[in-house]
Amino acid sequence: MNLIYLDNAATTSIDPEVIKVMQASMEHNFGNPSSTHQFGRKAKAVVETARKNIAHHFNVTASEIVFTAGGTEADNLILYNAVAHLGVQRIISTKIEHHAVSHTIAHLKNKYSIAVVHVNVDEFGTVDLVHLEALLSSTTKKTLVSLMFINNEIGNILPADAVCFLCKKHNALFHSDTVQVVGHYPLDLQKTSIDFMVASAHKFHGPKGVGFAFFRKGFGIMPMFHGGDQERGARSSTENVHAILGMETALDIAVRGMENDKIKLLKLKDYFISELLKLYPNIQFNGHSADVDKGTYTILNVRFPFDNDMLLFSLDLAGIAVSGGSACQSGSNSGSHVLQEILKDSASNNTSIRFSFSKDTTQQDIDTTLLKLKGLL
């Protein structure tokens, strides 16, 4: 059986060049970056070079990048700092954020008694900017806006520049979970003035367990982990040297191939949509996942006109890996909190599948998936 992987929003395969770089580092670069001897200095040098190169891709300085164990830790570090260190008393978010954000905000609300309010989203999951401005103008409390740049389930792209404008206008801070953006879309942080953002290497063909947080210059960082002065005191823990180098390489490859990958995947996604509609004319697409301008080219969230609890399992048995929502919820009986929020009960009860693509996705993958779906349906 030929296996087909269409769950790239959950994780991607590691690029062969990334594996080579990491293997070479494991063989020849084993020093502790905190050690002062030549082995430690060598490790420290490659980490700082990687930090500088990664920062360059976003038009920021190396000192604004903090390496973490991934996007979830980076979100936690940013949100914790906003409340415990920067004096944020109020957070504006939505009910369709990744749980790395929403659960962290809920924890901070309980621990620090901050105010949490949710901006409205419509039936497509689009953030209501008029409501956002009303919320921003309704208080004098120091406020942080936390909105996902690209939703990991329905693929919606946030109008980030408009949100940046509103936050600046009302003197609010802006944090965005950009895990589904980095490596797929260019992001110049001098033009798009997000204050805090995150990345996770395994979303763009890098290794798991490594990512980074961006703190715009001028914001001090209070560590969540204690026991060392790594990452300029922002994160105690010996740096994962090999993974950091793998992330640097993966990001460089992704940026160089970004435009070609986008063109290829847009064609495949458009083809997939048209063929799905031929297969089932009553199929719907959740959020803006089928919209070229409002949704990412990497995600298509399909809602079938029936309830079939076994469809996900049947596709897996047929060798096709997809998701019913985010990877964090695929094994949950509660279903997708995103779809439950934006769909009416009758629609949310129907079976939805998230197909997500990468540079490795082929025309044959799509055709085989369509054939299998036709047989199953």
Catalytic residues: 328
For tokens 């191939």, what's the residue? Answer: 257
Please give the Cα distance from 98 to 211 (Å, whole number): 16
For the chain, the helix, strand and coil percentages under 3-state DSSP, each to the nearest 5 = 45, 15, 45
Structure tokens at 317: 């048995």
CA-nearest of 166, 289, 291, 204 to 14 is 204
DSSP labels for 252-317? Answer: HHHHHHHHHHHHHHHHHHHHHHHHHHHH-TT-EE-TTTT-TTTB-TTEEEEE-SS--TTHHHHHHH
Comparing CA positions, the residue from 132, 165, 168 lying closest to residue 147 is 132
Helix axes 16-28, 241-279, angle to 10 degrees: 170
Instruction: Give CA–CA dist 118/96, Å, rounded.
Output: 10
Q: Which of 336, 303, 317, 331 is closest to 376 using CA atoms?
A: 317
How many CB atoms sit inside 10 A of residue 221's CB?
19
Distance CA 338, CA 336 (A): 5
Q: Judge whether 173 and 195 are in contact, CB under 8 Å.
A: yes
The answer to whether the CB of 283 falls within 8 A of the CB of 302 is: yes
Two tokens, residue 22: 């990491």
Q: Residue 78's closest CA among 212, 184, 227?
A: 212
- Nearest CA to 295 among 341, 343, 357, 371? 357
